[in-house]
Amino acid sequence: MTSQAEIHVEQVNVVIQPQTQTQAYWVSKFAVTEADIEQIYNHFIEVEKPQTASQLARVILHFRLMEEKNEIKQRLSGRDLYQPRKSYAVGDELVFPAMQFAYGKVVSTRPGANPQEGQFDVIAVEINGKVREFAAGLQSDHPLNKENGNLFAGFDLATVEELHRQYGGLVAKKLTELLGKQEGFVRLGQQWFVRGLMAEISIGHLHLAEAVLDMNGGGPLSADEIMVDLDLDPGVDIEVRRFSLNHALLNDSRFDEVAPQGKVVWYLRRLEPEGVRERPPRLAYTSIPHDRALLSPQLQNLERELDDEWSDLPPQTVAQPVVLTLTYPHRYSGTLPLSARTRPLFPPSNSPRQLVTFIDEVTSEEIAAWVVQHDRYIYGLKDWYEANGVPIGGFINLRPGPEPGVILLGCDRRRGQREWVRLATVIEGQIKFELHRRTISCGFDDLMIVGTDFVTAVDVVWRRAETNKRPIASLLAEIFPELAALNPQVTVHAKTLYSAINMFRRVPPGPLFAELVRQPAFQQVGDHYWQFDSSRWNG
């Protein structure tokens, strides 16, 4: 006898939904198969163009839907679609849409008895080796008795687009991981292609590309601009030629891809400025171990304010106007720091070196500059510093420009005034500081303004300190008394120490501040000012 409970179970499982349209299928169960890779390969042969991972994900979504649709059709072939209102005989083969289109064979029938349902039969069906009972000849208003309509309505293109909206990113990510391990597929930026379908780029083509860039001052030029002179096969689609040339240039050390993410332009490596090809020596930093637990919250706040590119600070995520203070290494090298605050101003790029444009906010002059990712600096401002008389300690204003890769540049210009400036010199190998008046024509931080009239002598001390890895404590013991003597209170601000010590060794604020705290000879007297007690020196 079929119980009411058994009938109820069938009623709550009447929703017919293909497995490929469930979250569990794509989130928990989906994995890229050899059949998927074959579909992608066939798709490339059909379209003969590079494709993004998102486009390939749509191919897989459509393939999986069609695969399930065909499987359901095969299950329905020669079998009846089960509905409780129909009558069945032993030997009939049935398909059950509400059970993920499982199928089985009727092995027995018997009368059913349930006063609430009226007369009906009970059929026993063997499904995957297990016998289950179902109602048949049931004339009541059972949901499964309704016409199913088009069982395949959920496999149209609209369904593919909806699935792509929901799960396309997840599928694209898994495809990217697997295709990267497949020898026959080539990736360039966000695009993929099949190696065997790429246009032929010979060594002769690459020599010509070098000549084209050379005649154009090194670049930047796009692949389309370079291709004009390469005589590539015009019968090959332009997208394939572009992809193939970009791939070849990327794998030749003579060429540098220097555009922001999403664009591709090329520069001849040997014609890039020397300060781009090789890191300016003054910017070189060798990590200095230090105990960050020594830094008080106040010193950590000061570290964030100074925003040194070698401080391990969490980067900002949104480009905002930045006012930074120019330090000796960057003024000397004609660079800016690529730091936690300045980095978001520059568009993301996979390239080690990126060509950007600064626009002077006052004169509208355009200045070509280079972002050197690994070494954390932006090169190309030396002439602008000289033209505007920007001192060490001068304020530099940066703002997002009208488009990615364009940055507005300013320096708080003002009428030149005579100001007291700390100037370093070297006497018999010893570092000395004196106060002298200099004409300054832009805004500056008076705690960080330093300079020298004896660049060569300062360079000798710097080179010796860098070569010998002179300890921070030793440098502090030498320069602190000299700086303190310039102040009636015989104190030195931490920012002044940071600015001055970087004339002689590249030191971020963290190691410097930790050394001030660690050494008992240095005593904090408030507002980040320090005094030096030589009697307590243990260096």
Is there a contact between 489 and 416 (Cβ–Cβ < 8 Å)?
Answer: no
State the pLDDT confidence band at 279, using cuts at 50, 70 and 90. Answer: very high
CA distance 490 to 484: 4
pLDDT higher than 60, residue 150:
no
Average pLDDT, the chain: 87
Query: Is 60 exceeded by the pLDDT of residue 3?
Result: no
What digits encode the pLDDT tens for the residues 451-509?
999 999 999 999 998 888 889 999 999 999 999 999 999 999 999 999 999 999 999 99
Four-point Cα dihedral 8, 12, 14, 15, nearest 10: 180
Distance from C-alpha of 1 to C-alpha of 290, rounded to nearest angstrom = 81
> What confidence score (pLDDT) does residue 158 get?
60
- For tokens 């590079």, name the residue: 50
Are the C-beta atoms of residues 178 and 57 closer than 8 Å to each other?
no
Task: Please give the C-alpha separations between residue 252 and each of 34, 179, 194, 198, in angstroms, as whole numbers.
Answer: 32, 23, 20, 17
Reading the block at residue 66, the tokens are 């069609």
Q: Tell whether the model's pLDDT for residue 390 goes beyond 90.
A: yes
Q: Is the distance from CB of 505 to CB of 485 less than 8 angstroms?
A: no
pTM given for the model: 0.76
> According to the model, what pLDDT value does residue 23 have?
84
Whether residue 6 has pLDDT greater than 60: no
- Does residue 396 contact residue 413 with C-beta atoms inside 8 Å? no
Domains in the chain: boundaries: 4-179, 198-272, 292-414, 418-536
Note the pLDDT tens digit of each residue in 504-526: 999 999 999 999 999 999 999 98
Please give the residue that has the higher pLDDT: either 75 or 196.
196
pLDDT of residue 248: 95
Question: What would the DSSP string read from start to end of 395-464?
Answer: EEEEEE-SSTTEEEEE--EEEEEEEEEEEEEEETTEEEEEEEEEEEEE-B-TTT-EEES-HHHHHHHHHH
* Highest mean pLDDT, choosing among 3-12, 96-105, 146-155, 252-261: 252-261
Listed residue (453, 460, 451, 455) closest to 499, CA to CA = 451
User: What CATH number should be reported for the domain whose range is 198-272?
Assistant: 1.10.10
Q: Give the model's pLDDT for residue 8.
A: 35
- Work out the average pLDDT over 163-179: 90
CATH fold of 292-414, please? At1g16640 B3 domain (2.40.330)
pLDDT score for 77: 62
Query: Which residue would you say has higher pLDDT here, 74 or 466?
Result: 466
Q: Going by C-beta distance under 8 Å and a sequence separation of 6 or more, which residues neighbour residue 149?
A: none
